């Protein structure tokens, strides 16, 4: 796991688990072609998150205790590094919303230069509707688009022509091709329908937000649709280019970059997010830079991250309930798992025995902990002899080696 000594050597097609500022500071200048970021929006909300099938849970804390100044300072330091690592032909897309877009626009103007501001893209999602009474529906996010210089890569994207435009191609030539007679600067010319690329897309993008039944959904409320990233990546990069997302979440950017034959660099400080994105893009877990490797790393993990890590590492799934979880932290093949981020003594074992007794379909349970005391071992032996309940102890050491 990342510590103050961890070095994040720059390597395309890599996932880094760590604070993105530290990661970026190790990267060389002018090294990436395209950056998309989807940072916390300064919403002052706490998200309790259920992670899809694996029913992972984690808290994504978007609470800025001291207010906008803390948020601005957090973002300014990161945008400064992003500007540094971006190539002179590169593009930067910053995803935000009404909470902080005004502040971020001013910040980016200062960093990239107002002349390098390209667009304020409106991502309009018509499929989200909430109950509001004192203001209009809020159904768009803002994506600020900047480039480092005027020499940016830009591949215009097109949408198919509307029926009304197609109707204008009302003539047919001797080869059966449809065309329209148009006038440009006083000169008449023929425009063929089969040569039209469609309509160049503008700065208002109508793309649905992921619905709860969407196949893409991985259980994370701020997960972005692949269609959105596809548009950005196709426009501002070419095959083989390096795409960086340092607030990666479920790894949408990485998944799309990979699909479009770009190289990717993904960063997130949540070990659970890194695990999830690695699974999504079939990236080897052992190759994630900054993942917990030692006992000391594991001790520093937040409790819910530790629980997710331990259950997954053991081949189980983590209980999504943070409170009132019935004393069960996860399951492996339906058998309950209890996770302790410390040494385990007899009281914890006795409590777990009661939990197992409450779910009569299993007379078995797994306990994960640092070490198991003599009392814990006696409790386990007693459970087997007197209650015919099997408890298996798994040491964190073993999980780290496995």
Provide, rounded to whole angstroms, the least separation between the CB of residue 121 and ligand SAM.
15
d(CA 193, CA 143): 33
Q: Judged by CB, which is closer to ligand SAM: 93, or 247?
A: 247
CB of 159 to ligand SAM, least distance (A): 23
Task: State which of residues 15, 244, 273, 367 lies at the interface with ligand SAM (CB under 6 A).
Answer: 273
269 binds ligand SAM (CB under 6 A): yes
- Interaction of residue 222 with ligand SAM, rule CB under 6 A: yes
Q: Which residue is nearest to ligand SAM (CB)?
A: 249
Please identify which residue in the block is written with the tokens 């039944």.
Answer: 213
Q: Which tokens go with 274?
A: 């890194």
Contacts (Cβ under 8 Å, ≥6 apart) of 354: 327
CB atoms within 10 A of CB 233: 25
DSSP string, 193-216: GGG---EEP-SEEE-PPPPTT-TT
Tally the C-alpha atoms within 13 A of residue 98's C-alpha that lie toward its C-beta. Answer: 6
CB closer to ligand SAM out of 124 and 364 = 124
Both structure tokens of 46 = 């706490």
**Smallest distance, ligand SAM to C-beta of residue 269, A:** 4
What is the SS3 string spanning 256-321? HHHHCCCEEEEEECCHHHHHHHHHHCCCCHHHCECCCCCHHHHHCCCHHHHHHHHHHHCCCEECCC
Residues in binding contact with ligand SAM, number by CB under 6 A = 18
Rounded to a whole number of angstroms, the minimum distance from the CB of residue 194 to ligand SAM is 37
Question: In this chain, which stretch among 132-140, 145-153, 215-223, 321-329 interacts with ligand SAM, using CB under 6 A?
Answer: 215-223
Tell me how far, at minimum, the Cβ of 158 lies from ligand SAM, in Å: 25
Minimum Å gap between C-beta 285 and ligand SAM is 17
Residue 101 binds ligand SAM (CB under 6 A)? no
User: Which residues, numbered 231-260, are part of the site for ligand SAM (CB under 6 A)?
Assistant: 247, 249-250, 252
Show the binding pattern over residues 11-40: x = contacts ligand SAM (CB under 6 A), - = does not.
Answer: --------xx-----------------x-x
Q: List the one residue from 10, 60, 117, 382 that touches ligand SAM (CB under 6 A).
A: 60
CA–CA gap between residue 31 and residue 9 (Å, rounded): 12
Q: Which of 270, 275, 307, 308 binds ligand SAM (CB under 6 A)?
A: 270
Do 372 and 393 meet the contact criterion of CB atoms below 8 Å apart?
yes
For helices 226-236 and 252-259, angle between their N-to-C axes, nearest 10 degrees: 50
Tokens 């970059």 appear where? 257
**Identity of the residue, 268 or 338, whose beta carbon is nearer to ligand SAM in the bound complex:** 268
224 binds ligand SAM (CB under 6 A): yes
Binding site for ligand SAM (CB under 6 A): 19-20, 38, 40, 60, 220, 222-224, 247, 249-250, 252, 267-270, 273
């Amino acid at each position: 796991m990342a510590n103050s000594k961890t070095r994040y050597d720059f390597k395309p097609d890599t996932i880094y688990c760590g604070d993105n500022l530290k990661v970026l500071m190790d990267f060389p200048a002018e090294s990436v072609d395209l950056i998309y970021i989807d940072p916390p929006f300064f919403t002052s909300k706490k998200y309790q998150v259920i992670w899809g099938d694996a029913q992972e849970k984690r808290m994504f804390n978007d609470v800025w205790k001291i207010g906008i100044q803390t948020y601005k300072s957090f973002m300014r330091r990161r945008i400064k590094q992003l500007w540094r690592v971006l190539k002179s032909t590169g593009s930067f897309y910053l995803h935000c919303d009404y909470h902080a877009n005004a502040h971020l626009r001013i910040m980016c103007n200062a960093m990239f230069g107002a002349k390098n501001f390209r667009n304020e893209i409106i991502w309009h999602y018509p499929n989200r509707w909430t109950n509001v009474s004192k203001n209009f529906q809020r159904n768009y996010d803002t994506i600020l688009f900047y480039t480092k210089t005027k020499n940016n890569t830009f591949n215009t994207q097109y949408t198919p022509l509307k029926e009304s435009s197609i109707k204008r191609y009302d003539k047919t030539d001797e080869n059966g091709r449809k065309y329209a007679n148009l006038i440009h600067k006083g000169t008449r010319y023929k425009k063929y329908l089969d040569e039209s690329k469609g309509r160049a897309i503008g700065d208002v993008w109508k793309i649905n937000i992921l619905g709860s039944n969407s196949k893409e959904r991985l259980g994370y409320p701020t997960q972005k649709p692949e269609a959105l990233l596809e548009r950005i990546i196709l426009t501002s990069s070419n095959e083989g280019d390096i795409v960086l997302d340092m607030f990666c979440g479920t790894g949408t950017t990485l998944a799309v970059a990979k699909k479009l034959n770009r190289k990717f660099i993904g960063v997130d400080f949540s070990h659970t997010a890194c695990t999830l994105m690695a699974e999504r893009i079939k990236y080897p877990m052992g190759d994630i830079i900054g993942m917990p490797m030692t006992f000391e790393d594991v001790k520093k993990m937040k409790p819910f991250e530790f629980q997710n890590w331990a259950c997954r590492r053991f081949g189980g799934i983590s209980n999504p309930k943070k409170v009132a979880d019935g004393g069960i932290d996860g399951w492996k093949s339906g058998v309950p798992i209890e996770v302790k981020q410390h040494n385990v003594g007899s009281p914890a074992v006795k409590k777990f025995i009661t939990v197992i007794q409450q779910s009569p379909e299993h007379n078995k349970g797994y306990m994960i902990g640092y070490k198991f005391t003599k009392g814990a071992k006696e409790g386990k032996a007693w459970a087997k002899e007197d209650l015919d309940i099997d408890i298996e102890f798994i040491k964190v050491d073993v999980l780290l080696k496995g």
